[in-house]
């Protein structure tokens, strides 16, 4: 399997009980089978580290968004245009555009689709 955080993140969203990297299979395969047979989860050390990095990264990123940025992200993810979001919040279009740019920079996202995925994954909006 690929050792990339995004692949691991997407995989875990599917709800597996274990994850074994191909590079670890020769050393950990029997332990993985035994753990899963005993209804215990099994993740190799590298995968556990990647999960921890993802979790910590999401938590720290989440905390860096201001209340207003979260509101704007929610409206964008719900399908509002910048102009419509400005109307809902009673602010100028320029204010929404500025916040949107800051959100994208903070989260290192480059498209509206990426903003929507982030909002859904982080339960800012419901799918």
Return the pLDDT at 34.
94
Q: Where in the chain is the domain with CATH 1.10.10.10?
A: 66-121
Cβ atoms of residues 89 and 82 within 8 Å: no
pLDDT at 55: 66
- pLDDT value, residue 59: 52
Q: Quote the pLDDT of residue 103.
A: 93
Given this model, what pLDDT does residue 22 score?
84
pLDDT along the chain (127 residues), means of 10: 60 78 87 92 80 63 78 94 95 95 90 90 83
Fold classification of 66-121 is Arc Repressor Mutant, subunit A (1.10.10)
Question: Using alpha carbons only, what angle is made at residue 15 by residues 74 and 121, rounded to the nearest 5 degrees?
Answer: 10
């Amino acid at each position: 399997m690929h050792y990339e955080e995004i692949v691991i993140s997407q995989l875990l969203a599917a709800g597996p009980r274990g994850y074994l990297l191909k590079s670890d299979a020769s050393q950990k395969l029997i332990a993985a089978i035994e753990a899963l047979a005993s209804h215990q989860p099994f993740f190799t050390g590298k995968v556990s580290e990647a999960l921890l990095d993802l979790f910590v990264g999401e938590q720290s990123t989440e905390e860096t968004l201001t209340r207003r940025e979260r509101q704007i992200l929610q409206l964008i993810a719900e399908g509002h245009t910048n102009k419509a979001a400005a109307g809902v919040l009673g602010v100028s279009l320029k204010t929404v555009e500025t916040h949107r740019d800051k959100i994208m920079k903070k989260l290192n996202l480059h498209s509206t689709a990426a903003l929507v995925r982030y909002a859904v994954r982080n339960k800012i909006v419901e799918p």
